[in-house]
Structure 1
Amino acid sequence: MKKTLSILTLLAAGTGHAAGFSFDTHSARATSMGFAAVANMQDSSAIAYNAANILGVEKLDITAGDLITLPRINFTAEGTDRTQAFDTLLAPPPHAFGVYRLNEKMAVGLGLFVPFAAGSKWPDDFDFRTRGYKAQLATYHLNPTFAYQAHPRLRVGVGVSVIRGTVDIERKLNFVSSEGTVELGGGAWGLAYNAGIQLTILDKLLQFGGQFRSPSSLTFKGDVDFRDIPPAFQTQLRDQSVQSTVQFPGSASAGLLFTPSERLSIAFDLKLMLWSTFEEFTIEFDDPSLTNPLPKFWENTWNFHLGAEFKVTENFLVRLGTAFDRAPSPENTLSPDLPDADRYRLAAGVGYALNPVRVDLGYQYIFLGNTKSTIPGISGAYDGDGHIFGLTLGYSLK
């Protein structure tokens, strides 16, 4: 028996986020507009979407909230009608932002949010539970931000993220006559940076926004615990330290905000996710004979986001949105340890403001297109759907 394993399960993707393991839900307002936010967000949550736009805050703005994700991914093995689905894991990532306007030209802010997150649990009788069983991953970004009004029509912003990554995974081991379990927990620290611009093209009518977020490299270190291991394997499959370096992708986004009237705004974003750095994944054990690189060869993807906001009254707003996120994994490396598919989104939400407080509610329905895996022995098709429910509270001083 080949006595190797991988912790790529830690990246198993739920449907509550963008394709791959990227997560865009840092604001209920942005969620309800299909994440069309690069030129659109003018409150403190702009820290996550475009640092330049924290200058939309007049004096002080604080936002905080959470989102519940209800994902479901189905797998049907090739040549069978047996369909299995992983169980829902509710692992809502919190978001909190604060911005203070220093003067007419400068603003500073601080944000805490989760741009990469995932969670899954396949059923106990899942046919390929030795390739993927249960996992949770999150990267928490603490993001100080500064913005400057360089010209009456141009804002610029920069930020640095201090990153804390956590992972907890479990999978099964097949010994033919029995089954064992391996569990791993670990953490990592890292750094990243971001920069953004906002350009007014036509006064009160058309604005352009752009943002770049750098890639980051996190080296997860932890311990692996083997359970129910037959005596013949206990010497090699022993509890030990492990580590792995994960390359999280950078991204480049561009957006337009069109405001044809005081009551209506329409936003469109185009986002490039730089997944091609994720070529393989390797976990290094104290025992080097267990180290086994897994090829992934992910591809860069373009994501599209469209949203609209209508002011029904001075205090009450309604929002709609849609989005398309392409999956970065090619068919020949798509496996149960990292299930994925193209995502089609429909979004809606409302907002109510009664100065100095406001409340935003957002919802998305996510449909996963049928995606095939061609890996010999574990080939099949993935599909599914999911729901996101979001709440964000805001407080502003002018």
Structure 2
Amino acid sequence: MSPMTLKARLLTAAATIAVAAPLATSSALAAGFALKEQSVSGQGTAYAGVTAGGNGDASAMFYNPATMGLISGNQVVQTASGIMVKAKVENARATRATRLGGSSITGNASPGDIGQDAIVPAGYFVYSVNDDLKLGLSANGPWGLVTDYGNNWIGRYHGIRSDLKTYNFTPSVSYRINPMFTIGGGVQVQYAKAKLSQASDFGASRLGRPGTLDVISDVTGDDWGWGYTLGALIQPTKDTRIGLAFRSAVKHSLTGTVSFTGLPASLASALPTQAANAELITPEIASIGLYHEINDRWAVMADAQWTNWSRFKELRVNVANSALNSVTEEKWKDTWYFALGTSYKITDDLTLRGGVAFDKGSVDIETRTPRIPEQNRYWLSVGAGYRLTESLYVDAAYSHVFIPSTSIHLTDNLTGAGAGRGNLSADYKSGIDIIGVQARLSF
């Protein structure tokens, strides 16, 4: 390969990585608001073995930077995952607190599908300085959430729209200490942007006439933060690999504004647009993965991942006028994700994959809110990879995520953070389909 050809490919690779993340649109697909969809080759086994590099390409570096040590030469990977989310609200019921008369809250009791379909891309580039030292760059959207009920739904005092997007850029390095041990690490540079909408019963709180005047608040904010990733890869035999990885928390101080709509002109000056801020801390993740080749065709793999969701105790928005501060209790719990998978090489060019996984929900029914009405998830995935040329390899995968029916039951006794928002009950029927495609260029 001529120096100019190599330079052109490196520039193309860097450009691919640079534009991958900003194209992302996010929907919450794993426990909490995590997005697992960062590797299509990994998706084929329900992400079993990705911490140990079982998917065999540079996209494993998102889960464990030490897996870059498995790459020969240089490699570019671009993924795109099409997400079809169904989250239907049924039997929604809302009343005011008993001390306010317990009257029904009017509005749309059947807002339909509150989820949004999305295309989530990710990009990776690994450059081999030599056989032992690798440099990498990845662009991802690791956290995201969109739910939208519409301004007139009967649970509007608890939340209308929740929208979180993150864009993560991670330069990484790995080093093979000896044939058995490889270590890796990276620096996360993360941009977060959020919007929260909610209605307030202004008629009840200010006029003494519940339901006569709703005011909708829209809070927007953004921030840059940083964190790190660490990983190790242990290869006790030529057929077996064990991966260990840790992704740090990233703290954001989202700053922006809150604006209000719905006030009559005579009262508009009472609630001008003003400064607002909120704290967001993405949770730590620790994982362990196993990959084992039974023979030159069959391989089995597993992954276990712990996420520190107990960090998320409340959603607090601070406003310049402190009387307008908003707090929603969350009280989430730490979660585990367990996956088992297998791959089979039909030929040297064609590999089939399959996997199952269990993703524990982070919220109990007592604290589940309409902003993130999440529940346990059960994954079933299949995938295939095919070598088109010596340097170009493509992957495709399909997953269905089964989500048991769930519900929310919130009680308003006019005390605590949710005072005045009303009693709310609703049932949810949800499911997710994911179709992913991936291209890998090695040179």
Q: TM-score, with normalisation over the residues of structure 1?
A: 0.90
Contact 1:182 1:225 in 2 (8 A): yes
- Pair 1:314–1:170, CA change in 2 (3 A): same
Contact 1:263 1:312 in 2 (8 A): yes
Distance in 1 of aligned mates of 2:70 and 2:380:
27
- For 2:44, the equivalent position in structure 1 comes to 32
- For 1:106, the equivalent position in structure 2 comes to 133
Contact 1:335 1:378 in 2 (8 A): no
Q: Which of structure 1's runs of 4+ aligned residues deviate more than 6 A?
A: none
CA apart distance, 1:180 = 3.9
Q: Give the counterpart of 2:86 among 72, 86, 91.
A: 72
- For 1:395, the equivalent position in structure 2 comes to 441
Q: Give the counterpart of 1:320 among 341, 354, 362.
A: 354
CA apart distance, 1:306 = 1.6
22-31 vs 223-232, which moves further: 223-232
Q: Matched residues, percent identical?
A: 24
Please tell me the residue identity of whatever aligns with 1:38.
Answer: T
- Pair 1:85–1:359, CA change in 2 (3 A): same
Please tell me the residue identity of whatever aligns with 1:370.
Answer: S
Please tell me the residue identity of whatever aligns with 1:357.
Answer: L
- For 1:138, the equivalent position in structure 2 comes to 165
Contact 2:121 2:140 in 1 (8 A): yes
Please tell me the residue identity of whatever aligns with 2:144.
Answer: A
CA apart distance, 1:78 = 7.1
Distance in 1 of aligned mates of 2:201 and 2:297:
61
Distance in 1 of aligned mates of 2:378 and 2:434:
13
CA apart distance, 1:143 = 0.4
Distance in 2 of aligned mates of 1:277 and 1:155:
31
- Pair 1:60–1:168, CA change in 2 (3 A): same
Contact 2:93 2:425 in 1 (8 A): no
Q: Give the counterpart of 1:42 among 56, 63, 85.
A: 56
The residue matched to 2:119 in structure 1 has which SS?
Answer: coil
CA apart distance, 1:233 = 4.7
- For 1:362, the equivalent position in structure 2 comes to 397
The residue matched to 1:374 in structure 2 has which SS?
Answer: strand
Distance in 2 of aligned mates of 1:144 and 1:269:
24
Contact 1:47 1:143 in 2 (8 A): no
Q: Deviations over 1:181-205 (max 9, x none)?
A: 333332111011110111112322x
Distance in 1 of aligned mates of 2:267 and 2:380:
50
Unaligned runs of 5+ in 2: 1-25, 95-108, 203-210, 412-422
Q: Deviations over 1:75-114 (max 9, x none)?
A: 344789x765334423323200000111121101000011
Higher strand share goes to which structure? 1
- Pair 1:189–1:248, CA change in 2 (3 A): same
* 1:255 partnered with 2:289: yes
* 1:291 partnered with 2:358: no
Contact 1:236 1:287 in 2 (8 A): no
Please tell me the residue identity of whatever aligns with 2:192.
Answer: G
Q: Deviations over 1:365-394 (max 9, x none)?
A: 111123343321123433311111111111
Contact 2:78 2:122 in 1 (8 A): yes
Aligned positions, number: 382
CA apart distance, 1:256 = 0.8
- For 2:191, the equivalent position in structure 1 comes to 164
Distance in 1 of aligned mates of 2:327 and 2:152:
26
Residues 236-385 of structure 1 mapped to structure 2, 5 A cutoff = 236-353=270-387, 354-376=389-411, 377-385=423-431
- For 2:69, the equivalent position in structure 1 comes to 55
Contact 1:41 1:49 in 2 (8 A): no
- For 1:96, the equivalent position in structure 2 comes to 123
Please tell me the residue identity of whatever aligns with 1:152.
Answer: P
Please tell me the residue identity of whatever aligns with 1:100.
Answer: Y
Distance in 1 of aligned mates of 2:194 and 2:118:
12
CA apart distance, 1:358 = 1.3
CA apart distance, 1:255 = 1.0
Contact 1:86 1:123 in 2 (8 A): no
CA apart distance, 1:173 = 4.0
Please tell me the residue identity of whatever aligns with 1:102.
Answer: V
Contact 1:25 1:67 in 2 (8 A): yes
- Pair 1:307–1:291, CA change in 2 (3 A): same
Higher helix share goes to which structure? 2
* 1:181 partnered with 2:208: no
CA apart distance, 1:232 = 6.2
* 1:193 partnered with 2:228: yes
Please tell me the residue identity of whatever aligns with 1:116.
Answer: W
Contact 1:41 1:53 in 2 (8 A): no
- For 1:10, the equivalent position in structure 2 comes to none
Please tell me the residue identity of whatever aligns with 1:362.
Answer: A
- Pair 1:79–1:131, CA change in 2 (3 A): closer
Structure number with larger C-alpha Rg: 2
The residue matched to 2:138 in structure 1 has which SS?
Answer: strand
The residue matched to 1:276 in structure 2 has which SS?
Answer: helix
Distance in 2 of aligned mates of 1:111 and 1:224:
33
Please tell me the residue identity of whatever aligns with 2:38.
Answer: H
Contact 1:213 1:250 in 2 (8 A): yes
187-196 vs 70-79, which moves further: 70-79
- For 2:144, the equivalent position in structure 1 comes to 117
Q: TM-score, with normalisation over the residues of structure 2?
A: 0.81
Please tell me the residue identity of whatever aligns with 1:144.
Answer: P
